[in-house]
Structure 1
Amino acid sequence: MTHANLMNNYFNPNSVYIEEDFRRRFRMRRHVFERLLHDVQHPYFRQNRDRAGRPSFSPHQKVIVVLRMIAYGSLVDLMDETHGMSESTCLDTLEQFCDTIVQVYKDEYLREPNQEYLNQLLRKVEDHGFPGMIGSLDCMHWDWKNCPTGRQ
Structure 2
Amino acid sequence: MSFSSIQKCVAALRYLGYNISFDTSDEYLKVSEMITVERVDWFSACVYEVFHEEYLRKPTQRDIERLYSTHEERHGFPGMLGILDCTYVAWEKCPTAWHGQFTRGDIGEPTIILEVVASQDLWI
- Identify unmatched segments of 5+ residues in structure 2: 87-103, 109-124
Alpha-carbon offset, residue 117 of structure 1: 2.9
Residue of structure 2 in register with 1:40 after alignment: none
Residue of structure 2 in register with 1:115 after alignment: 61
- Measured in 1, the distance between the counterparts of 2:41 and 2:55 equals 19
Residue of structure 2 in register with 1:96 after alignment: 42
- Identify unmatched segments of 5+ residues in structure 1: 1-53, 139-146
Residue of structure 2 in register with 1:74 after alignment: 20
Deviation string for 1:20-60 (max 9, x for gaps)?
A: xxxxxxxxxxxxxxxxxxxxxxxxxxxxxxxxxx2x11111
- Give the TM-score normalised by the residue count of structure 1: 0.43
Deviation string for 1:37-93 (max 9, x for gaps)?
A: xxxxxxxxxxxxxxxxx2x11111111111111111011222111100111111111
Task: Determine what percentage of the aligned residue pairs are the same residue.
Answer: 28
- Measured in 2, the distance between the counterparts of 1:116 and 1:90 equals 40
2:31 to 73, 82, 85: 85
- Measured in 2, the distance between the counterparts of 1:118 and 1:86 equals 44
State the number of aligned residues: 87
Q: CA RMSD in A?
A: 3.6
Aligned to 2:14, what secondary structure does the other structure show?
A: helix
- Comparing 66-75 with 110-119, greater Cα deviation is found at 110-119
- Comparing 107-116 with 80-89, greater Cα deviation is found at 107-116
- Measured in 2, the distance between the counterparts of 1:94 and 1:79 equals 12
Deviation string for 1:103-125 (max 9, x for gaps)?
A: 22222322332334313545759
Residue of structure 2 in register with 1:39 after alignment: none
- Give the TM-score normalised by the residue count of structure 2: 0.51
- Measured in 2, the distance between the counterparts of 1:76 and 1:97 equals 14
Larger proportion of strand: 2
Structure with bigger gyration radius: 1
